[in-house]
Amino acid sequence: MLEQLKQEVFEANIELMRRKVVIYTWGNVSGIDREKGLMVIKPSGIDYDRMSARDMVVIDIRTGEKVDGKWRPSSDTATHIELYRKYPQIGGITHTHSVNAVAFAQAGRDIPALGTTHADYFYGPIPCTRSLTKEEVEKGYEKNTGKVIIETLEERGIEPLAVPGIVVRNHGPFTWGRDAAASVYHAVVMDTVAEMTMKTLLLNPSAEMPQYILDKHYYRKHGKNAYYGQK
């Protein structure tokens, strides 16, 4: 099962490159084996073109220690661990520096829900966290990044799978899902939605979407009586 998870996480990382939301060595994807308490994540600073499933790194989320792999894990490993520890429903996490989502992070703004494309995947605004304090950056930066994500979700009463992503102020987007592939899917969708939103706000800074349209589109795809797609 662990070898299968390594392959899934590797393929999810490569999908980021295929979908053009990462360049060079930017970004990372992880997946988790909940029964074993083991996370598989991309190695730090390894070019996508040179990677294989064998290069993935295995981390024990209970201790944070590496248990398998020849490389150092992603520098964002501690952020992933915080989210896995807090939310058992999450099975995969993606972090990118995709251009459009980062623009909202740098502006310190939520990505508002202005249209049905957004509503199909995110039930409401995609939140932007507060900035980390100087102390949080200097002592446990990556761990505190995870904590500020959790703080934002908890303060706003957001169920993580209903809004499967966030932008960390001054940094960039993190997305998640039931597995690694789903977290990548949400990362790609988030960046596309962010681009649509920026262009919309340029044309009409007062643009908005009624709640009943948001409800209709989200619940027809994710609700108890969802009817989008095939059975």
- Candidate list 60, 87, 120, 219, residue with the active-site label: 120
Name the residue among 80, 92, 88 with its Cα closest to residue 184.
Answer: 92
Give, in degrees to the nearest 5, the angle at Cα 186 between 132 and 87.
60
Furthest-apart CA atoms within the chain: distance in Å: 52
Give, in degrees to the nearest 5, the angle at Cα 14 between 23 and 89.
110
- Candidate list 24, 68, 215, 228, residue with the active-site label: 228
In the residue annotation, 120 being an active-site residue is answered as: yes
In the residue annotation, 48 being an active-site residue is answered as: no
Alpha helix (H) ranges present in the chain?
2-18, 77-86, 99-107, 116-119, 134-138, 141-156, 180-203, 211-222
Q: SS3 of 93, please?
A: strand
Q: Which residues are catalytic?
A: 120, 228
